[in-house]
Chain A
């Protein structure tokens, strides 16, 4: 598989898998209003995934469409970072993760809107506006829970501690072909570290949360090596399409 397709799949799978986790919250949020907000965010991410998967299929030119790529690849072929695949059944964790992921996506899409891959640039320009809202939503909750009651502060701090070790893979250029960056198609993930971390630190400070002093987790999702949770996630996401191939509503 070409490095170009691999790169697009990484971005698409980040959005797709995150979307699947956001969907879990529908009917489980603290309030009806939040149900709709999380569904909206998940659907934005799903839209990004669809556009990127379709584009990846076109670049690959092997006849695979978005459904083939979403539903008929196995775990080892998924290129998402491990951050987004882990269970997300605590509201504080959901907001801490969204804060990290959406801030990173916002910086990434901003840089990618100047990509020499014109389709990728167009998708990024549209997604940048969406992710700006996702960041704001996560920030609002992080501020209120962090700077809320003693109980909400402790639980938000715990959520931040749980998510922070999984950021490193977002900045890791390990599997990215340097040639893609040289041709202006991809963004060197290392260049995102400074702007993303500055924004995250600012939110933590405002929310009276302390920046976790934690070691990076072993995270190699970009290479297809996923956590235990990934298989369960894919089973739920893919079983309908695989049980009834080609089925339509």
Chain B
């Protein structure tokens, strides 16, 4: 049997939150991928919305590029918003 394409699954657990990657699955097409995702990843009321994306459509950063991609951010403390006084009573900051 031929191997069906791989799909990445993203589930939004409730309104207001973002879709979060929960795993992957095999399916012949997008319609079946969505239904398989419903069966595999929302059996216990985990979500209110599902996205499926062909794994092949995802361009991922390479572990080999880790140094050039991520290390330059290490010593840039001024990029963190820690140089401000936060007034009392401000929520969600």
Contacts and interface: CB of A to CB of B under 8 A. Distances in A.
A144 B43 contact: no
B29 to A, nearest CB: 8
Interface in B1-52: 1, 4, 25-29, 31-32, 35-36, 39-40, 43
Interface centre among A31, A33, A37, A40, by most chain B C-beta atoms within 10 angstroms, is A33
Contacts of B27: 33
Contacts of A132: none
Nearest to B4: A31
Secondary structure type dominating chain A contacts: helix
Interface in A110-168: 136-137, 140, 144
A228 to B, nearest CB: 32
A136 B25 CA distance: 19
Contact of B32 (A32, A36, A40, A140): A140
Contact of B25 (A30, A33, A140): A33
Contacts of B39: 33, 36-37, 40
A37 B32 CA distance: 11
Contacts of A32: 26
A31 B25 CA distance: 10
Contacts of A37: 35-36, 39
B32 A144 contact: yes
Interface centre among B25, B26, B35, B43, by most chain A C-beta atoms within 10 angstroms, is B35
Given A30-B1, A31-B4, A140 B31 contact: yes
Interface residues of B, number: 14
Interface string A8-39: 00000000000000000000001111101100
Nearest to B32: A140
A36 B40 contact: yes
A137 B26 contact: no
Contacts of B43: 36, 40
Nearest to A37: B39
Contacts of A33: 25-27, 36, 39-40
A137 B36 CA distance: 10
Contact of B26 (A31, A40, A140): A31
A144 B40 contact: no
B35 A144 contact: no
B67 to A, nearest CB: 38
A134 B64 CA distance: 46
13 contacts: A30-B1, A31-B4, A33-B25, A33-B27, A33-B39, A34-B36, A36-B36, A36-B39, A36-B40, A37-B35, A37-B39, A137-B35, A144-B32
The 5 A-B pairs of least Cβ separation, nearest first, read: A33-B36, A37-B39, A36-B39, A40-B39, A33-B25
Given A36-B36, A37-B35, 7 more contacts: A33-B39, A34-B36, A36-B39, A37-B36, A40-B39, A144-B28, A144-B29
